[in-house]
């Protein structure tokens, strides 16, 4: 396949869309997330559809919040 071919951009686009779709499908709700206001870690509880806080804080988020009062 020639690098100047018209098919190459289409193939690259299909690969990128496939990788993006795979990332969306493999996103697990049990991974801890960071609350942007309090910097507290939480997971989404599938039983009642709400946030379950873990009583842990992200140090990088807290450092960033301290820099921007």
Alpha-helix runs per DSSP H in 4-58: 7-25
Q: What is the reported pTM? A: 0.50
CB atoms within 10 A of CB 40: 19
At 14-51, the pLDDT tens digits run 999 999 988 877 766 667 788 888 889 988 877 777 88
- Residue in this structure with the two tokens 């960071």, named with its chain if needed: 34
Q: Residue 3 falls within a domain, yes or no?
A: no
Q: Residue 21 falls within a domain, yes or no?
A: no
What total of structural domains would you count in the chain? 1
Domain that holds residue 67: 29-69
Q: Residue 52 falls within a domain, yes or no?
A: yes
| 36 φ, ψ (degrees, to nearest 5) | -70, -25
Q: Residue 23 falls within a domain, yes or no?
A: no
Q: Residue 58 falls within a domain, yes or no?
A: yes
Q: Check if the beta carbon of residue 34 is closer than 8 Å to that of residue 58.
A: yes
Q: Residue 1 falls within a domain, yes or no?
A: no
pLDDT band at residue 2 using 50, 70 and 90 as cut-offs: low
């Amino acid at each position: 396949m020639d690098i100047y071919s018209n098919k190459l951009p289409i193939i690259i686009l299909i690969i990128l869309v496939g990788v993006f779709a795979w990332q969306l499908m493999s996103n697990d709700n049990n991974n801890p997330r960071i609350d942007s206001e309090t910097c507290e870690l939480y997971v989404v509880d599938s039983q009642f559809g709400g946030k379950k806080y873990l009583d842990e804080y992200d140090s990088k988020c807290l450092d960033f919040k301290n820099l921007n009062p």
